[in-house]
Each structure stands twice: as structure tokens, then as C-alpha cells.
Amino acid sequence: MYLFHVSSVEYLGYLVSSEGLKMNQATFQQILNGTPPRNLKALKSFLCFANFYRCFIKNYSKISSITSFLKKYSFFPLNEKALSQFHQLKEAFTTAPILSHFNPSLPTIVETNASNYALGAVLSQVSDSGKHPIAVDSCKHIPAELNYQIHDKELFGNVWALKCWRAFLLSLSSSFEVLTGHSSLKYFMSSKFLTFCQAHWAEYLSEFHFSITYCPGRLATLPDALSRGINQILGQYLWIYFSHRQDNWNSWLPLSQFAYNNSNHSPTKQSLFFAVYGRDPQSDSAHITQNTPSGNLSTKIKSVQKDFKRELEVSINRFKRYADKSRESPPVFNLGDMVWLSSINIKSTRPTKKLSERWLGTLPILKKVITHAYHLKLPSQWKFIHPVFHISLL
């Protein structure tokens, strides 16, 4: 059968058009109408079908953790966890993007990501209409790779991605960019000390013309810092109830969160739940015997929040009092005084910072900006350095 003057054509399970490559409509409907597998045979059939279209799904190896059931059971347990993973994989296929055609003249980006058990990578190109995915791939670590340090896992992810798309990347007319979530990889190619594996990977990477750019996973540093404390506390709760394989943590998460919100905190001497709602939470065994009028509840919540604020102020003052015991009064400088400046934040032209000068100067003080900051007169060769410094650096 021959087709002419058509905008798209089905070929080997794909729909090929001028826009790119995507799954055909029949396959899309088959996924939408599909039912969860009831046994191992049906599960293997579904996974074979899914693996054929894995090139459309970002981080497919992380999503398709349903394959773990093939190792642990001689039958397929149709429980809540299995159904959740099935629907997650199903949704990923129904939202699969269109893979654009590769153009050797366009700027190219390789994004890699490594976790404790899987690798993921995306090949993209930037055109006038924005960034478009060209190919997506992922794989699980083999047992030997599971022993790698996180730095080596990230580095191996870059090597693996470049092997996957070697034909594309070597045909580029200019260098391409590799985005990684590990900042130390920026200096890997110029490192003087490498392990055997790293030296082998460096030799392979030398065939490509690319630059490594650090792309932090969390750009919002303050929310990240605020969440780390909560995550650490929840981790302590979950550690008590983990199974040996540590694969059932999500089922214990609601109970851990409830326990944290219902426990008294030392700064406020109250639970978070009580501070917000003005009452302790009702457990499954408790029953509400009477309704509280909304006016009384509003007054109670305001009173609780007032006490909450007072206890926080007391706690802050207590922490400050303890900190001030080991804190000395800062020195006071006057206009025209000559001071030494710490070199900790100033880049040196000497080969090794460890053997460079600890203090630079002396430098005159031009004015006092605030209580703990001074404006210094810097040499002309330091024109890119801001002249205001904290007193701890003087």
C-alpha cells in the first residue's frame, strides 16, 4: 500500500508526521481502555507492550517499578500498591509528548538524572518555538552499579546517555550541553585524580564536544531548608516501621504525619494541630458527642494562637540567651582605620588557596554602613568585588 500527499503515516506502531514521532491513536485508545493485569502472564504482556513505547516516557525505569512483582511473587498480587503503579504508568503513556525530528544544526541539550536504583535521560533541542524533546530513555542499575557513590552514579548517567545517542551527538555541527544535578561534575574533565572507572569514562567522553552545566534540582533554597527538618523527623518515625526491603514507607506516611502534628513541640509547648484548629484531633476510637458553637471555637482558636505566639517569643529569647553566652562584643572601627580583610570569599590567583594569604590589606575604612558592616576602599584591580563587608571578615 502506497500513500502520497498525507500529513502523517502509521509505521511500525508509530505515527510519523512533520511534527515528529508519537504513538498512534489505536495504541492510545488501547491504553485508555486497558484493565489492570490479573496474573503474571497478563503483567508480562503489559510490560512487553510498555517497553516498546518507553522512548516516550521520561524516567520510565522509575515509574515501572511494577516489574519488582516479577521477582518477589509467583503470582501477581492485585493490591493497592500494584494498582497505583499500574495507573501511574498508564497515565504516563496517555500524556506522552511528541518526539521532534533531530536537526544537527540546532542547539542540543542532554539532561541526565540518577537515583539510587535507576537512570533517566532526555535529549532535547532548542528551536525558535522553544525546547522540544527528541528522545527519552531510562534504565535500572545492575547490582554492581548499585554500589556506586552518588557522584559516580551521576557521572555514569552522563556516559550512558551519550552512548544511547552517540550517533546524534557526533553528527552535531557545534558542541552540546549536558545538564546535571551534581555540581562537582563540572570539573570532572579537568580533574587530576581519577579512579579506574572514572578514567575509563573520561576516555570515552573525550570523543564528544560538550560542556557540563550544573542544574540544581531545587532552585528555591529556603523552602528546601525548611522542608529538610520535617523530612528528617518523619524519617525517624518511618524508620521504626520500615519493612526489611524498605518498600512500604508510603503506607506509613499518613500515620507518621499525624503523629508529628499531634505531638507537643518544645518551642511552643503545644501541637501544631491544636495551634491551627484549637482542639486535639479525634482518633478513630473517639466520638464527638456535642457540637461547639462557631463563635466559641473562633474565640478559642484566637486564644490558642495568642498563647502560641507568646511561647514562641519565650523560646526565641531563650535560644538567644544561650547563644549570647559564647558571643563576644564586636569591635568598633572608626572612619580612616586600617583593617585586614579575610580572603575566605576572595578568589586568589595562586595555584592553591590553602597556601594563600589568610588576610589581605591593610585597607582603609570609608564609612560605617550598619552596626556590623563597613565600607572599605579596595584596590583598583578588585573592581568586581562589592566593597561592603561584615565585621566578622575584618
Q: What confidence score (pLDDT) does residue 131 get?
A: 79
Confidence of residue 173 (pLDDT cuts 50, 70, 90): confident
Q: What confidence score (pLDDT) does residue 121 get?
A: 83
Q: For strand 108-114 and strand 176-180, is the pairing parallel, antiparallel, or unpaired?
A: parallel
Distances (CA, A) of 126 to 15, 21, 81, 173, 176: 23, 17, 38, 14, 11
Span 330-343, mean pLDDT? 86
Q: What confidence score (pLDDT) does residue 144 get?
A: 85
Residue corresponding to grid cell 493497592:
80
**Continuous segment of H or E residues that includes residue 390:** strand 388-390
- Length of the chain in terms of residues written: 394
CATH fit for domain 108-214, picks 3.30.428.10, 3.90.1170.50, 3.40.50.720, 3.30.420.10: 3.30.420.10
SS3 34: coil
Taking only the tens place, the pLDDT of each residue in 346-368 is 877 777 676 677 888 889 999 88
Q: Where are the domains of the chain?
A: 8-94, 108-214, 222-281+294-325, 338-393
Taking only the tens place, the pLDDT of each residue in 274-302 is 766 777 776 554 444 555 555 666 776 67
> Residue 74: CB partners within 8 Å, gap ≥ 6?
40
Q: Are 36 and 86 contacting, i.e. CB atoms less than 8 angstroms apart? A: yes
Rounded (10°) angle between helices 25-32 and 80-94: 160
The answer to whether residue 217 scores a pLDDT higher than 50 is: yes
Beta-bridge partner residues of 178: 110, 212
Q: Whose CA is closest to 87, among 144, 169, 14, 32?
A: 32
Q: If you average pLDDT over every residue of the chain, what do you get? A: 73
Rounded (10°) angle between helices 249-261 and 221-241: 110
- Report the alpha-carbon distance of residue 134 to residue 110 in Å, rounded: 10
Span 105-124, mean pLDDT? 83
Taking only the tens place, the pLDDT of each residue in 232-251 is 666 666 666 666 566 666 67
> Residue 337: CB partners within 8 Å, gap ≥ 6?
364, 365
